[in-house]
Amino acid sequence: MTWFSVLFLFVLSIASTFSARILGIVSTTSYSHQSAYLPLWKELSLRGHQVTILTTDPLRDPTLTNLTEIDCSFSYKTKHRKLNLNELAEVSSTQMIERIISAGYDILEEQLQHSMVQNLLKNETEHFDVVLVEAMYTGGAAFAERFNCPLIQMLSLDAFHCQYHDMGNPSHPVLNPEVMLPFVGKLNFFQRLISVGFSFVMRYYIGLVADSQDVLVKKYFGNDYPHLRETLSKTSMWFVNTNPIFHSVRPLLPNIIQFGGGTHLKAPKPLPKDLQNLLDRATNGIIYFSLGSNVKSKFLSQERLAILMETFAELPYTILWKFEREDLPGKSENVIISKWFPQQDIFRHPNVKLFITQGGLQSIEEAMYNYIPMIGMPFIADQKHNVNILVHKGMGLSLDFATMDKAALKETILEILNNPKYRYKVRELAELVKDQPMTGLERAVWWTEYVIRHKGAEHLRSPAKDLPLYQYFLLDVIGFCLVVILVAIYILIKSISLIGRLLNGILVKTKSKIE
Ligand SMILES: *[C@@H]1O[C@H](CO)[C@@H](O)[C@H](O)[C@H]1NC(C)=O
Ligand SMILES: *[C@@H]1O[C@H](CO)[C@@H](O)[C@H](O)[C@H]1NC(C)=O
């Protein structure tokens, strides 16, 4: 029995007994983000809830009659106008941050102008029982104020330290470096220093985003709305797309739910006939090469393309290359390009032996669940972190795309294909991720309904949220103890010198008496 059928039985056996109104706001223009939540929206609607979501990648599934999608796919145009990822790699970090925040502002503003969103804002009789918002561009959290209902924040990756801290959840920058940092495993002193510093930078950044998005809250919801930072501080629950096997082990409060571990995986579908034939025939092995949905292969330089093509030409394997162009002049016979491949179903084919990836979390999970070792070529965001985890855990190797040469690429590919240790390791870790009492999706569904049932999760609120920082870090207690110890040492030294002087006095007197 696959875990899909287990999930299906689970859903059947615990048919929900109530129907709630659920609003999900994910304004981020990135399929890899959206795809982490799509199964949740679908599942909640199948359980009889009325689910309304704002998304840039609607499912458009007419059988999901309880799911209303506010289609904001137009936001991709705004994103491409404001943010060119390949161009972004060239600008300074501060410019990059400004651009990302400003793009997030424009994107949310256009989405708030959507007639269906305007309807939600203006319709007096409209109500929702819970609002889920992605913690990237958080302006949508104001809907929780609008409908006076609990708020759940979620991320398609791990949360940042400041977000954990704001929930009162301990989070240690050395034990768990931010996902935007490449550090994995045991950190050296400078890495620890950078990790601590960077967590403050992230707090500053997340604060800037909230301030920028708050301008939209005031403009579209009303001037009487509390500051977005205040709205976010009332978050009932957090969903993070992590699991303790791939990500590091860390302490979690009961209101921080890990919904990671293949949540976005779809049920298997048969491959198109020609593709199936092609894969069946490639008994030598298949390498699947994709740089994901954010880094488009067409932006790669001629020189980089030549290295890829020449290397692939020398390999006795079939290469499936997800490439956003009609043709690729000079490619060898064994290379098949397409703008789109059914990636998850390709990974299920036993002839696929290697996945070359930019290191997106969702792609890594898809390969992992099908026991396929990987070569990571990270570009942006959390990719470097993910790829380093991959290498650290022994599931594959990494290459620097900008500097690698033909020899290095070929050698790395052959190492993975000829050394079975990577394949064994992937299988071992995948089995561990799958071995849990309920899937990440089931957990997210259960806890969403929990928040609805109890109108929030105030009772799970961490006491750390009400503690001033100096008390949390025991500064007053440590300070008091230091003072006591210093006073004691002072008294001791004074007493010793007093006793010394007394003794000296007695000695001098005795001496003079003797003389
Ligand atoms: C829609 O929700 C109702 C209950 O509100 C439920 O009976 C029905 O099965 C749901 N339909 C689908 C397609 O999920
Ligand atoms: C307002 O919301 C209610 C409840 O969802 C709905 O029944 C009604 O059709 C909405 N009105 C408009 C004008 O959209």
Whole-number pLDDT of residue 402: 87
Cβ proximity of 166 and 51 under 8 Å: no
Ligand 2 centre and the CA of 21: distance in Å? Answer: 13
Same domain, 355 and 245: no
- Asked if residue 182 belongs to a domain, the reply is yes
Give the helix ranges, DSSP H, for 221-351. 228-233, 273-281, 302-313, 343-347
Q: What is the CATH number of the domain that holds 305?
A: 3.40.50.2000
- Asked if residue 37 belongs to a domain, the reply is yes
Same domain, 347 and 493: no
Nearest CA to ligand 1 atom 7: 48
How far is residue 192 CA from its own chain's centroid?
A: 21
Whole-number pLDDT of residue 97: 84
Nearest CA to ligand 1 atom 4: 48
- Asked if residue 513 belongs to a domain, the reply is no
Nearest to 257, CA basis, from 154, 364, 329, 366 = 154
Same domain, 460 and 493: no
Nearest CA to ligand 2 atom 2: 126
Q: 194 CB contacts (<8 Å, ≥6 apart)?
A: 181, 183
Same domain, 19 and 141: yes
Ligand 2 centre and the CA of 150: distance in Å? Answer: 21
pLDDT per position as a tens digit, 465-490: 999 989 999 999 999 999 999 999 99
Same domain, 118 and 241: yes
Same domain, 56 and 71: yes
Domain's final residue, options 434, 457, 489: 434
Ligand 1 close to Cβ of residue 22 (< 6 A): no
Separation CA 254–CA 238 (nearest Å): 10
- Asked if residue 3 belongs to a domain, the reply is no
Binning pLDDT at 50, 70 and 90, where does residue 115 land?
very high
Same domain, 282 and 259: no
Ligand 2 close to Cβ of residue 94 (< 6 A): no
Domain count within the chain: 3
Domain that holds residue 154: 8-263+439-466
Nearest to 351, CA basis, from 278, 411, 295 = 278
For residue 112, give the amino acid letter.
L
How far is residue 32 CA from its own chain's centroid?
A: 10
Nearest CA to ligand 1 atom 9: 48
Same domain, 348 and 425: yes
Whole-number pLDDT of residue 295: 64
Ligand 2 close to Cβ of residue 119 (< 6 A): yes
Nearest ligand by distance to the CA of 49? 1
Same domain, 421 and 447: no
- Return phi, psi of residue 336, to 5°: -115, 120
Nearest CA to ligand 2 atom 5: 126
Mean pLDDT, residues 340-368: 93
pLDDT per position as a tens digit, 237-261: 999 999 999 888 999 999 999 998 7
For the CA of 126, the nearest atom of ligand 2: 2
Binning pLDDT at 50, 70 and 90, where does residue 14 land?
low
Same domain, 258 and 305: no
Nearest ligand by distance to the CA of 116? 2
Nearest ligand by distance to the CA of 11? 1
Nearest CA to ligand 2 atom 12: 123
Separation CA 314–CA 321 (nearest Å): 16
- Asked if residue 511 belongs to a domain, the reply is no
pLDDT per position as a tens digit, 356-400: 999 988 899 999 999 999 999 998 778 999 999 999 999 999 999
Q: Which residues pair with 375 in a beta bridge?
A: 356, 397
Three-class SS state of 249: coil
Ligand 2 centre and the CA of 136: distance in Å? Answer: 29
Ligand 1 close to Cβ of residue 45 (< 6 A): yes
For the CA of 46, the nearest atom of ligand 1: 14
List of long-range contacts for 405-414, beta carbons under 8 Å, 24+ apart? 405/307, 406/307, 406/310, 406/311, 409/307, 409/308, 409/311, 410/311, 410/314, 410/315, 412/375, 413/287, 413/311, 413/315, 413/354, 413/356, 413/375
- Asked if residue 38 belongs to a domain, the reply is yes
Nearest to 250, CA basis, from 261, 239, 262, 258 = 258
Mean pLDDT, residues 270-298: 86
Same domain, 235 and 332: no
Ligand 1 close to Cβ of residue 40 (< 6 A): no
Q: Which residues pair with 322 in a beta bridge?
A: 338
Say whether pLDDT at 27 is over 80.
yes
- Asked if residue 1 belongs to a domain, the reply is no
This prediction has a pTM of 0.87
Mean pLDDT, residues 268-273: 92
For β-strands 67-71 and 50-55, DSSP reports them as parallel
- Asked if residue 27 belongs to a domain, the reply is yes
Same domain, 423 and 304: yes
